[in-house]
Structure 1
Amino acid sequence: MVGMSHITALHPRLVVEGADAALDFYARALGGTVTERFALPDGRVVHSMVEAGPIRFAVKDAGDGDPAPTGDGVPVIMSLDVSDADAVAERMLGGGATVIFPLADHGYGDYAGRLRDPFGHQWMISQRIEDLTPEQIQERVG
């Protein structure tokens, strides 16, 4: 369809206390590899990616509005990569979603924001706007 955004990827983002320990656990337990890791100057991981066979998922430290699981809580953020973030956000908002973080250029190569769907699930909608090296991303994050 003309004007429709194309989905390019979907993966869960697991929010944890102690991302580096979690990354070590997931890599060992699943026979995977940590392929991306970006941290703030204080060491908190703001984004990392684990690949194990055909799966990939992100891991980040709790904070910035993202709580780690407590009790029966299951904080997972769906990260949806698309070709037109504004179009997807508009459709979601039209269907009853609400804005958690507005869509914006975050400086690390993505135009992104976060919405809560009418059922309580969080969706990070991202559109790649600049291809950066991992070193450039870390420099901009830290």
Structure 2
Amino acid sequence: MKKLDWFSNVENRTHPWEGLGLTWLTTALNVPNVRDAVDFYTGAMSMVAIAELEGDDGEILFARIRYRGTNFTINKEGWDSDLSSPQTSGSQTPFIFYMYVDDTIALVNEMVQAGATMVNEPAEMFWGDLKARVKDPFGFIWDIAQKL
């Protein structure tokens, strides 16, 4: 197997909107209720709420949250696109988030207590991570890992 340099594509170029805390790539999640999603991700997963946009009726249509420098946007289904959450569509997500944390077991326990479902219990992987797989209440899959 060819050994890869995982960091060969890291750039030192500054972001065009420096100071806003934006990274070069942001993931957008579509959910039925943005408030519920922000509460879960900031409460159970210790992400940080950055901004929210309310509609005329006071319902939150969009939020931006962050985990250690990585931005996520949370969009109300049907607001910015015609995409649905796995929770609404009943389909499985075609991707998995792989998130490094300080304590896999503690975070997974928080997530499950807040309504997530354990898919795979924490286990040591051959590459040196302690990893668990969890489905959040909106149907998104998260591999929660820490280096051992």
**TM-score with structure 2 length normalisation?**
0.41
Which of the two has greater helix per residue?
1
Which of the two has greater strand per residue?
1
Query: Which of these two proteins has the greater Rg computed from alpha carbons?
Result: 2
